[in-house]
């Protein structure tokens, strides 16, 4: 059977042109990448994410306010987010906490993150999470809020925290950063991640590892690199991640947007 791939995290709306995104999607389809999560980051890109999902069979939309874009959360943003989520089967994301140099205002970040986790729970939607240097706070909020399934994208936390996150409904998506020979902590986390929660991603159009093909097609290389570390075959690992991605998404995996009919 043909190997199918799931790209657990990308931002197709960030391609500089529609032609660029279309080309990346074409290459992804040729490589067998049949399902992907396209993450919005602020109200200004939600319509573009919606359009990409409506126009492309394998693209599932995610809408959220990312911690780097707090300034874009003008009054009414949370109501606008709920309305957006109700328009199509979709996830809440990309949302989260960032204690690194790219973000500030920790209290506001936590308030914005918590409000969106509650919305995900209320609507029964999975959540796609960003976490940088805020692992303890992230765990505390998730324990407190008890959302449904959530995905920690580009997992960079300690291997020791995986078990507890998994018990709370966590999935773990690993990026091309695992190809970086110097990332020992990341490799330990990959080796410790529960097999039934493993996912892989590209964060396209970003691609910052040598040998990592740009675009969602690059998930093929990420899976191969992970397979070498885990001592499994790439085909087996791709099939596992495909099954995990479908489980994470539930009904959303098979759902198409209102305008996205199948082939006539
Ligand atoms: Zn992202």
Residues shown for the chain: 264
Q: How far is the CA of 128 from the centre of ligand 1 (A)?
A: 9
Which residues, at least 6 apart from 248, have a Cβ–Cβ distance to it below 8 Å? 126, 149, 151, 171, 199
Q: Could you give the CA distance from residue 73 to residue 43 in angstroms, rounded to a whole number? A: 7
Q: Whole-angstrom Cα distance, residue 138 to residue 46? A: 24
Say how many Å lie between the CA of residue 46 and the centre of ligand 1. Answer: 14
- The CATH classification of domain 5-253, taken from the options 3.40.350.10, 3.90.550.10, 3.40.50.300, 3.20.20.140: 3.20.20.140
- State in Å: Cα 208 to ligand 1 middle: 13
Q: Give the distance (Å) from ligand 1 centre to CA of residue 129.
A: 9
Q: Which two tokens stand for residue 131?
A: 């976490």
Q: Which residues lie below 8 Å from residue 178, measured CB to CB, with a gap of 6+? A: 186, 187, 190, 222, 225, 226, 229
Query: Domain residues of the chain, as ranges?
Result: 5-253
Q: What's the pLDDT score for residue 260?
A: 43
Residue-level pLDDT at 264: 35
Cα–Cα distance measured from residue 23 to residue 27, given in angstroms and rounded to the nearest whole number: 6
pTM of the model: 0.94
Distance 1 CA to ligand 1 centre (A): 31
What spacing in Å lies between the alpha carbon of 69 and ligand 1's midpoint?
12
* Contact in structure between 89 and 254 (CB atoms under 8 Å): no
What separation in Å is there between the alpha carbon of 228 and the centre of ligand 1?
Answer: 25
- pLDDT by residue for the chain (264 residues), tens only, comes to 689 999 999 999 999 999 999 999 999 999 999 999 999 999 999 999 999 999 999 999 999 999 999 999 999 999 999 999 999 999 999 999 999 877 789 999 999 999 999 999 999 999 999 999 999 999 999 999 999 999 999 999 999 999 999 999 999 999 999 988 899 999 999 999 999 999 999 999 986 556 666 799 999 999 999 999 999 999 999 999 999 999 999 999 987 655 444 443
Give distance in angstroms: CA of 109 to centre of ligand 1: 16
Count of Cβ atoms closer than 10 Å to residue 211 Cβ: 11
Please give the Cα distance from 148 to 91 (Å, whole number). Answer: 11
DSSP run (H or E) holding 78: helix 77-87
Q: Which two tokens stand for residue 89?
A: 């089967």
Task: Measure 206 CA to ligand 1 centroid, in angstroms.
Answer: 9
């Amino acid at each position: 059977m043909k190997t199918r791939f799931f790209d657990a995290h990308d931002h197709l709306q960030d391609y500089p042109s529609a032609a660029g995104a279309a080309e990346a999607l074409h290459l992804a389809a040729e490589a067998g990448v049949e399902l992907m999560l396209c993450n919005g980051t602020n109200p200004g890109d939600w319509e573009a994410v919606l359009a990409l999902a409506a126009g492309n069979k394998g693209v599932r939309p995610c809408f959220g306010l990312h911690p780097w874009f707090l300034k874009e959360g003008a009054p009414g943003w949370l109501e606008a987010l709920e309305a957006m989520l109700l328009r199509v089967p979709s996830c809440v994301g990309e949302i989260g906490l960032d204690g690194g140099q790219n973000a500030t205002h920790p209290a506001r970040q936590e308030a914005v993150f918590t409000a969106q986790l509650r919305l995900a729970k209320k609507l029964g939607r999975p959540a796609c999470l960003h976490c940088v240097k805020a692992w303890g706070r992230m765990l505390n909020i998730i324990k407190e809020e008890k959302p449904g399934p959530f995905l920690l994208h580009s997992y960079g936390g300690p291997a020791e925290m995986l078990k507890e996150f998994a018990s709370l409904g966590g999935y773990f998506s690993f990026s091309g950063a695992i190809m970086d020979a110097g990332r020992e902590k990341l490799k330990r986390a990959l080796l410790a991640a529960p097999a039934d929660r493993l996912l892989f991603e590209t964060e396209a159009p970003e691609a910052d590892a040598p040998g990592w093909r740009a675009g969602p097609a690059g998930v093929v290389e990420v899976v191969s690199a992970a397979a070498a570390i885990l001592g499994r075959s790439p085909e087996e690992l791709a099939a596992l991640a495909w099954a995990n991605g479908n489980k994470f998404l539930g009904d959303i995996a098979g759902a198409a947007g209102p305008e996205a009919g199948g082939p006539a």
